[in-house]
Structure 1
Amino acid sequence: MTDDMSTETVVEAIWHQLLEHHPEARRGGSPGAIEAAAAEPRLRQMFPFLSHGCLTFHRNTEYPWSNDLPFIACTTPYTVYAIGYAKLLGETETPQEAAALVIAHLPNDCCPAIEGPWPEPSSNTE
């Protein structure tokens, strides 16, 4: 990490790269969806990840991902799905509506992303 980015968290740095179309940022998704999600404080604290035309959000910054939050498929109309395409939460005409739909379905305990991999579930087999 460079000195000018040293005060920036990993999450903040990735959002900046996506918004500024930085050459090292992942490609795909929709610039409109990225901007709409970045404008929402609850989503801006999550780790954004672009893959297969979708903008996903995670509670951590390194693989393995939390994979437990709704996401936006950047199609027309925008579609919002629950975890792993388990359920279609809705279709929207604008990226702002899609971001709002994701927020409406975030778990109550959703807080800023942690740096590092998602913790393995404890294996208490008593």
Structure 2
Amino acid sequence: MVEETVVEQTWRGMLERRPEARRGEPAVVEAAYAEPRLRALFPFPSHGALSFHRNTQFPWSNDLPFIVGDAQSCIVYAPLGVPERVLGESLTPHEAAALVVAHLPPDCGPAFDGPWPPPESSTD
């Protein structure tokens, strides 16, 4: 049997609403999970937002768009430091997840196990 990665375990715990899992808005979590590129990232729900990280341990990458909202209406924000912070508003959870994917860097994912920044690649 193949062992689950930290990312897979985290998503599963959130989707199954396990007591030890962080709590996110179910409709937003499900919509994000439906997007393969987001499913490969580390999900982190907190204070009404669902953020995505390139790594699985603190400190987080914090360089990707994130979703704030519920089943009725979502806003997608660019990461801190981006002049135009609001990328979209009054979106369904699925529209919000698709907008996050559209704004991911091309080299984004899957998340690696460990803290940010990424480990140095070895040069041979």
Q: Secondary structure at the match of 2:52?
A: strand
- What TM-score do the two structures reach when normalised by structure 1? 0.85
- What TM-score do the two structures reach when normalised by structure 2? 0.86
Quick one: distance in 2 between partners of 1:116 and 1:93? Answer: 32
**Given the alignment, which residue of 78, 90, 99 partners 1:82?**
78
How well do the aligned residues superpose, as a CA RMSD in angstroms? 2.1
Shift of 1:38: 0.4
The amino acid across from 1:93 in the alignment is: L
**Given the alignment, which residue of 45, 59, 80 partners 2:40?**
45
Unpaired runs of 5+ residues, structure 2, are none
**Given the alignment, which residue of 22, 25, 28 partners 2:21?**
25
**Given the alignment, which residue of 103, 106, 109 partners 2:107?**
109
Shift of 1:121: 9.7
Unpaired runs of 5+ residues, structure 1, are none
Shift of 1:22: 0.5
The amino acid across from 2:87 in the alignment is: L
Going by fraction, where is helix more abundant, 1 or 2? 1
Classify 1:17/1:121 alpha carbon distance in 2 versus 1 (closer, same or farther; 3 Å): closer
Aligned residues: 117
Q: Which runs of 4+ in 1 moved over 3 A?
A: none
The amino acid across from 1:51 in the alignment is: S
Quick one: distance in 2 between partners of 1:73 and 1:49? Answer: 12
**Given the alignment, which residue of 53, 56, 79 partners 1:61?**
56
The amino acid across from 2:111 in the alignment is: A
Quick one: distance in 1 between partners of 2:75 and 2:81? Answer: 10
Quick one: distance in 1 between partners of 2:81 and 2:27? Answer: 21
What fraction of aligned residue pairs are identical, expressed as a percent?
62
**Given the alignment, which residue of 87, 93, 96 partners 1:95?**
93
Indicate whether 1:73 and 2:73 are aligned: no
